[in-house]
Amino acid sequence: MKAGRKKTIAIGSDHAGYAHREAIVRMLKRDGYRVIDYGAFGPVSVDYPDYAHPVADDVENGRADLGIVLCGSGNGVAMTANKHQKIRAALAWRREIARLGRAHNDANVLAIPARFVSERLAKDMVRIFLHTPFEGGRHLRRIKKIPLSAE
């Protein structure tokens, strides 16, 4: 990312994450981020992969710097995003988990369990995720072992 340029954030949620996603999008835009918002745009039941895959695609292909995905438990969107070879989605339910996802795992997608965290906590985790740098060092050696090599 070039110095001085605000990050581009891709975000998507299912119906369970809808309200938190709306609040996060407002916060990101207010803070000057470019947001690619895939919805869901209402509380009607939808399928989380339809929202997590586009976010992961954007991060994987460089259209977004980082991604945020939300569903009821956070598990479905994390599993979906992590199917993409270049994605490291971190499921976080506490501030420290969001920080460690970036600092130790160089996570590029944050997965949030909307039914288990408050809107305030979700926004706090997003801020922490966006502002925490990867520490590198011994952690780099470990994350290089995550992708399966082609056989």
**20 labelled catalytic:** no
Say which of 15, 20, 53, 71 is annotated catalytic.
Answer: 71
Strand-pair partners of 70: 13, 112
104 tagged catalytic: yes
Annotated active-site positions, please? 71, 104
